[in-house]
Structure 1
Amino acid sequence: MVERQIEVLQAVLDTLHDQRALLKSRIKRHKMALAPIRKIPAELITEIILFAVAEAPAISPNGQSCSSAANIAPLRLSHVCRSWRETALFLQPLWTRLYLSSDQQYGSELLQTWLNRSGQRGLHFHVKLTSRPTHSRHHLVQALIAHSRRWHTIHLYTSGSTMAYLRDIRGHLPLLTEVKLVISSPENIAGNVTDIFLDAPLLRSFHISSQEFWRTVPVFQIPWNQLNAYSVDDAGIHDCIEYLNQAPNLVECRLLSRFAPVLPTSMVVHEHLRNLSLCDYRLLNHLHASQLEALEVKWMSQEIYPMYQAIGDFIARSSSNLTHFTLCEWNRQDTAIRASEIIPVFQVLPNIVSLTLRNLVWNDDFFPPLTISSNQSILLPKMQILHLELLFSHLQPRTRSRPERLFDMIESRCTVRSGVARLHTVFLRLNQSLFNSDGSNDSEEEEQTMIHRISILKEVGIKIEIV
């Protein structure tokens, strides 16, 4: 009798559990239907989705670390809710950017999904093709070539020998505007591949480099007259002159040239160049660029030719109005650069608004000439942004830089007299702490003083970051 009653009660409980589950399901559906996100108009959802994709992390320079971020954003956005999914699946611009690797298990299927959902829009690809011949690589390359007429930008990370599989794309690139090639073993590129981008009527940007440091990359035949941006690694200074001659419409140019003992004699006149990055500053002796606004010099040697003289002559010859200047020392030696060696560079750059100095070893004598005082002329009077990556000298304690001089200079440019721009942004990257670490009372007092000075700078509106 008792067992029978238990069975009846259990059946009632099961029925109640089922009813509760049904009610919870209905409540959940009603909550979802009444959720604020449901009230967002489809047009606004479209804008949100496109903005989210535009803000997604960029592909890393080696083409390896951000693949999930590049591909997963459209998938996640289409899983927010049903209305978002319906919007995302038919939003063609959402499916025009894709990271692909021949090592991916489902690379071909992923590509086909993006191709189907992007309609006939131009495509932006980051593609990593291994040199190892595989079935997946073959299918991936064939699918890419079949849709080369839709390429808008292509960033390709591959080997020199693998480039041969792309020879058939020549003449089938009507939408291509940007090419970036990062090539391993570039000496293996066949001669009949270097012209594959020659017939690209909209090509405006071309960048080529080697994955191995200082491995020579081949010269590609490209429509030089069309280019607005060009960069190359490990080119000779004579090659750089030739590139500048062939591309009269360049606006941005990056030339990492090998150091050559024999210099060219020709002069190049550029009327459109705005942004130039180079590592052999002697190239400036053969360039006239009256519209140049930003110059980056990767300083490799100071022995053969005085860099400040090259920059000074270039400024005088071009009447260039440089506003952004970056100096970066390569092949650094652990000795400090004297202020007398670098101050002449600043003297010929009176219109600099943004100054960046990287990987340079400084001592105390560098900071006072940049410190504004009543008894000296003002260097860089228009400077508003300062980016310093300083390597303080630590081999010679008697010449070791002290943070006081650095902050004296920064503070002097926070409240300045008429005719001098106010410094508003400072970024410092240091190879050692600003403070001594011996644990003495003097060390603790110095640390507290520096922290207080940093706080005061922030209070008066200086954006300062120290790493």
Structure 2
Amino acid sequence: MATAPFSIHAILAQQTERTSGSSTAQIKDLIAESDSRVTSIQTEIAALKSQIAALAELSARESAAGEVLRFLIAPIRKLPVELLAQIFVLTIRDSDPSQRWYKQHTVHIRDAYRLSHVCRLWRNIACNLPRLWTGPIEASFSLEFDSAEKEEIYADGLRVWFARSEPLPVPIIITGLREGNWFSKIRPRLTEELRRISPRWRSLEFHEKTPGSLLQQLTSRGLDALEELQLRNVARDVADFDPTTVLSFIKAPRLQRLTIDSACRIPMPWAQLTDITLTHQTSSGVLLDIFSQCTNVVKASVVTAGWSDTSPKMLPLDKLSFLSVFWVESFVVQEMKFLDFISAPVLDELHLSFQVDSRIEWTEGFTAFQLRSPNITRFKVDGRGAYIPPSGLLSALRHTPSLTHLSVEDSPGSIDDAVLNALCYTNGVEPMVPRLHSLGLAAINCSQDLLAHMITSRWWTESTELASCSTPSIVARWRRIQLAEGRDDSGVKLGPNFRDAMEDLRGTGLAVDLMDWRSWRSKGEAW
């Protein structure tokens, strides 16, 4: 209950009138009486506060008792421990390594610790559930510590995480290896904690160039569980370091996925690898030499520049289903000869990217490569601003009859009226790539009226399809269309008439997305 407000001016007037004509001694007696009453009131307040505190404590106890009683009869307490453990595992969110600045790469860590701090029962289950502690764990060599004690606390935290995940494999991400301060940042305790569990690494990812001496220390105990390695490059931080003497990876029995700078020269078990990404620009001859050892490769991404003087034999990659080739530097026709000597009969997805200074000439060798890879269903071209002649794109499409997904990005002039007309379904005549059902175009300068006509020609509603089921269409119906504008204000813009046409198609059920350049680059095509 709030106290009634009072005015000090009113009290002053009241007491002035009360003491009018009183002596100083009489006023002092009044003061003593007032002080006595204040003391008595404060004593009474203290007693009431004590009673209130006792009642508050009693209320808290009763509330706690009620919560405990509810807990005792809660349905979750009747669940078997095994089922509760499975629920725990399912509640752990997947981390997103790309969202480091938003701390989305550590949500699995926070989730695991929250579960282990709910109650004693949950803590016992969580701490004895290795699957709960097998999310990616980052070990940073760049953290600044005020004291050696705090550094030990950090290392102890990693040790606890590793202990709780035992004996299961764990993904390891190593960051903070900035060039120039390696010797001050290579922390012995952190290195030892990582080295101690190296036989349990499921994956190992280095974000920066790695000192050779650290790599040798970390991998000296074996890599029995290692399935994936991302090693950008290795630096010779000590004079006698020889990358060819690092033999730990060649002895890793489960290693299958590799991302590496092809110039680092560390021996790898090429024959057992199924997924290979080579990040350093490499001559086609060297790439062919590497892939001649990769008899089981299924997925490959390479960066190439230049050509070898040798004339290699045809290289059969009989299991290769995905290939991405990024050509850099000044482009010459003969660079495409990298594909002249590859045979990939089961290739399903092909990506071509260019970072070139001149226009690209489509070669007959590429057509021959397509004929040796007749099962391509997904084809992506990223021009990065380079001009790809429409005749080249037409030739590529003509020789991919099984194509279902097509993406062309940032290649002004590559899609002209001839390409769009070839893709149109008109008067029941089979168009080019009749199985095509997913299309992505970004920063493409073409006739928007003809593009809208082409898209409309290959779309019909489900009711129309059911009505004509007795005569199956010779062309696939669209499943998804994604279109993006140019990279800046001066780039390609989708006009209002085109947008209206796409909105009409969306109203009939076509999944069509119109986006800006930034959204396209962050999301890519929904394949």
* Band of TM-score, shorter chain: 0.7 to 0.9
Report SS of the residue matched to 1:219.
coil
Equivalent residue in structure 2 for 1:143, among 193, 210, 227: 193
Tell me the CA shift for residue 461 of structure 1: 2.8
Match of 1:272 in 2: 319
Deviation string 1:169-209 (CA, Å, 9 cap, x unpaired) is: 25712222211112376898743554331211222122114
1:403 to 1:39, Cα distance in 2 relative to 1, 3 A? farther
Give the aligned CA root-mean-square deviation in angstroms.
3.5
Report SS of the residue matched to 1:292.
coil
Unaligned runs of 5+ in 2: 1-36, 146-152, 328-335, 466-471, 516-527
Give matches, 1:59-458, under 5 Å: 59-60=97-98, 66-69=104-107, 71-79=109-117, 83-97=121-135, 98-104=137-143, 106-130=153-177, 131=179, 132=181, 133-134=183-184, 137-160=187-210, 162-168=211-217, 169-170=219-220, 172-183=222-233, 190-192=242-244, 194-209=246-261, 217-233=263-279, 234-260=281-307, 262=309, 264-280=311-327, 281-301=336-356, 306-307=361-362, 309-316=364-371, 318-330=372-384, 332-333=385-386, 337-362=388-413, 364-365=416-417, 366-374=419-427, 377-392=430-445, 401-415=446-460, 418-431=473-486, 447=496, 449-458=497-506
Tell me the CA shift for residue 111 of structure 1: 1.6
1:409 to 1:268, Cα distance in 2 relative to 1, 3 A? same
1:286 to 1:192, Cα distance in 2 relative to 1, 3 A? closer
Unaligned runs of 5+ in 1: 210-215, 393-400
Q: Is the 8 A contact 1:67 1:99 kept in 2?
A: no
Report SS of the residue matched to 1:103.
coil
1:164 to 1:380, Cα distance in 2 relative to 1, 3 A? same
Tell me the CA shift for residue 246 of structure 1: 0.7
One-letter code of the match for 2:89?
L
One-letter code of the match for 1:291?
V
Tell me the CA shift for residue 155 of structure 1: 1.1
1:171 to 1:143, Cα distance in 2 relative to 1, 3 A? closer
Tell me the CA shift for residue 282 of structure 1: 2.6
One-letter code of the match for 2:214?
Y
1:353 to 1:172, Cα distance in 2 relative to 1, 3 A? same
1:17 to 1:74, Cα distance in 2 relative to 1, 3 A? closer
Tell me the CA shift for residue 92 of structure 1: 0.2
Deviation string 1:411-449 (CA, Å, 9 cap, x unpaired) is: 2222287121111012222216999999xxxx9xx63x4
Provide the C-alpha distance between the structure 2 equivalents of 1:5 and 1:61, rounded to a whole number of angstroms.
Answer: 60
1:361 to 1:86, Cα distance in 2 relative to 1, 3 A? farther
Q: Is the 8 A contact 2:244 2:265 kept in 1?
A: no
Provide the C-alpha distance between the structure 2 equivalents of 1:181 and 1:283, rounded to a whole number of angstroms.
Answer: 24
Provide the C-alpha distance between the structure 2 equivalents of 1:288 and 1:302, rounded to a whole number of angstroms.
Answer: 29
- Identity percentage of aligned residues: 21
Provide the C-alpha distance between the structure 2 equivalents of 1:436 and 1:304, rounded to a whole number of angstroms.
Answer: 19
Higher mean C-alpha displacement, 57-66 vs 188-197:
57-66
1:463 to 1:30, Cα distance in 2 relative to 1, 3 A? farther
Report SS of the residue matched to 2:138.
strand
Deviation string 1:28-71 (CA, Å, 9 cap, x unpaired) is: 44455556655655444433433344x51332399996543353
Q: Is the 8 A contact 2:316 2:342 kept in 1?
A: yes
Q: Is the 8 A contact 1:170 1:199 kept in 2?
A: no
1:200 to 1:309, Cα distance in 2 relative to 1, 3 A? same
Provide the C-alpha distance between the structure 1 equivalents of 2:430 and 2:487, rounded to a whole number of angstroms.
Answer: 31
1:103 to 1:388, Cα distance in 2 relative to 1, 3 A? same
Provide the C-alpha distance between the structure 2 equivalents of 1:205 and 1:437, rounded to a whole number of angstroms.
Answer: 38
Aligned length in residues? 440
Higher fraction of strand: 1
Match of 2:520 in 1: none
Provide the C-alpha distance between the structure 2 equivalents of 1:423 and 1:302, rounded to a whole number of angstroms.
Answer: 35
Q: Is the 8 A contact 1:267 1:288 kept in 2?
A: yes
Higher mean C-alpha displacement, 149-158 vs 367-376:
367-376
Deviation string 1:121-166 (CA, Å, 9 cap, x unpaired) is: 2221111141423366322122212222222211122434x23223
Q: Is the 8 A contact 2:213 2:237 kept in 1?
A: no
1:253 to 1:196, Cα distance in 2 relative to 1, 3 A? same
Match of 2:32 in 1: none
Provide the C-alpha distance between the structure 2 equivalents of 1:432 and 1:328, rounded to a whole number of angstroms.
Answer: 13
1:325 to 1:157, Cα distance in 2 relative to 1, 3 A? same
**Are 2:51 and 1:12 equivalent residues in the alignment?**
yes
Q: Is the 8 A contact 1:170 1:197 kept in 2?
A: no
TM-score (norm 2): 0.73
Deviation string 1:231-279 (CA, Å, 9 cap, x unpaired) is: 1122221111011101111111111112337464322012111111112
Provide the C-alpha distance between the structure 2 equivalents of 1:368 and 1:252, rounded to a whole number of angstroms.
Answer: 34
Provide the C-alpha distance between the structure 2 equivalents of 1:24 and 1:239, rounded to a whole number of angstroms.
Answer: 74
Provide the C-alpha distance between the structure 2 equivalents of 1:11 and 1:264, rounded to a whole number of angstroms.
Answer: 96
Report SS of the residue matched to 2:249.
coil
TM-score (norm 1): 0.82
Report SS of the residue matched to 1:221.
coil
Q: Is the 8 A contact 2:285 2:338 kept in 1?
A: no
Deviation string 1:275-323 (CA, Å, 9 cap, x unpaired) is: 111124431100111111111111345979843533320122x253111
1:256 to 1:147, Cα distance in 2 relative to 1, 3 A? same
One-letter code of the match for 2:216?
R
Report SS of the residue matched to 2:250.
coil
1:80 to 1:422, Cα distance in 2 relative to 1, 3 A? farther
One-letter code of the match for 1:147?
I
Give matches, 1:21-32, under 5 Å: 21-32=60-71
